[in-house]
Amino acid sequence: MKKITLLTTLWLIGCWVYAGPVTEHGQLKVNGKQLVDRNDQAVVLRGVSFGWSNWWPQYYNAEAIDILSNDWKCSVLRAAMGVEPDSAYISDPQSQLALVTTVIEAAIKNDVYVIIDWHSHGMRTSEAVDFFRQMADRYNQYTNIIYEIFNEPVMQSWEEIKAYSEEVIQAIREFDQNNVILVGCPHWDQDIHLAANDPLTDCPNIMYTLHFYAATHKAWLIERANDALNKGIPIFISECAAMEASGDGPLDLDSWNTWLNWAEDNQISWVCWSVSPKNESCSMMKETALPQGPWKDEDLKEWGILTRHTIRQYNTNTDSTDTTDVSRYLSDIYPAFL
């Protein structure tokens, strides 16, 4: 009996040690302006977004998700399914569905949260309704799921986005009453003040997305976001990075740390862009990085190294808890960080 009790205790300890974010937090929901877990405790998710699925499909594989979950220690991954360009969802839905479901199911296996991102700048209401109805019907029983229904509106007014969001949310809620839904805001997710002044009503468990690129977006956008928070608007940073909004240029570490500290102080989740090898500074992978891994620092660009170490430090304290130490680490490798 004592032997059985000991074995059971060891097994339970092992489950606790290796429990992932979903086991730890369970069903997420929105309480006021805060994302909370099944025990109504505040949750801050930190992770990475894949690049456009139609351009960088090679990274949409289970081995990459294993690395990002277990080595990078991401608590959330974002499957950025391209919608409108050539070879994206509108022209090739089956291949894009296959890529997205690969990420979703690998994320479920790794016990992390996953954002199903309708990665579009244009409004395709009927196609979005059909897509999210499929996703909600298929994955409604999994607490891992977060729906992002409009990546970055560009030319649309808030009134148009609001009407679109209501229709897509209704389609999701036909099958999934519980999982969180992320709603886009005008002008590349920077005009969150428009949503704050006229929010969606009777739509529980929704949050509004804010995107920033630290070298471009400075105090003015933080002030705008603070105003939204003061009005009770829940914010989720589903895309961010340390360089210019073009996705290129040098990393602005001072502004990045200002944004990161602001997000952490306000217990706001953040997702870094992107797992891809594009020739720009916001793409984390070098051309030599194998899509299935393994990845050493030598396989990553500066932004990939910074992202990995920052997520690890916040999610597990595996690395230093002082962000300046990450910058020092980078400066030892890359003189540009000095």
Q: Is residue 24 part of a domain?
A: no
Instruction: Judge contact between 44 and 269, C-beta under 8 A.
Output: yes
Residue ranges making up the domain that contains 71: 41-337
Q: Is residue 56 part of a domain?
A: yes
Q: Any idea how long the chain is? A: 338
Average pLDDT along the chain: 92
What pLDDT, in 10s, does the model give residues 117-159? 999 999 999 999 999 999 999 999 999 999 999 999 999 999 9
Q: Which residues pair with 119 in a beta bridge?
A: 82
Q: Does 239 qualify as catalytic in the annotation?
A: yes
The one-letter amino acid code at 314 reads: Y
Q: Is residue 34 part of a domain?
A: no
What pLDDT, in 10s, does the model give residues 31-61? 999 999 999 999 999 999 999 999 999 999 9
d(CA 259, CA 100): 29
Give the total number of structural domains in the chain. Answer: 1
Q: Is residue 243 part of a domain?
A: yes
Smallest CA-to-CA distance from 47 within 322, 329, 307 is with 307
**pLDDT score of 305 more than 90:** yes
d(CA 80, CA 116): 7
CATH number at residue 278: 3.20.20.80
Q: Is residue 258 part of a domain?
A: yes
pLDDT at 317: 72
Alpha-carbon distance values, 16 to 11, 23, 95, 224 (Å): 9, 9, 37, 40
User: Is residue 105 classed as helix, strand or coil in its secondary structure?
Assistant: helix
Q: Is residue 72 part of a domain?
A: yes
110: which 2 tokens? Answer: 């790794």
Residue with tokens 């529980």: 204
The one-letter amino acid code at 56 reads: W
What pLDDT, in 10s, does the model give residues 233-275? 999 999 999 999 999 999 999 999 999 999 999 999 999 999 9
179: which 2 tokens? Answer: 């999982």
pLDDT at 7: 41
Of 63, 174, 223, 239, the catalytic one is 239
pLDDT at 19: 79
Q: What is the value of pTM for the model shown?
A: 0.91
**328 or 89, higher pLDDT:** 89
136: which 2 tokens? Answer: 């909600």
Q: Is residue 285 part of a domain?
A: yes
Q: Does 287 qualify as catalytic in the annotation?
A: no
C-alpha atoms less than 13 angstroms from C-alpha of 316 in its C-beta half-sphere: 19
Q: Is residue 48 part of a domain?
A: yes
40: which 2 tokens? Answer: 């109504």
Contacts for 40 with CB less than 8 Å, ≥ 6 apart: 31
Contacts for 89 with CB less than 8 Å, ≥ 6 apart: 54, 81, 82, 83, 96, 97, 127, 131
Of 148, 152, 244, 302, the catalytic one is 152
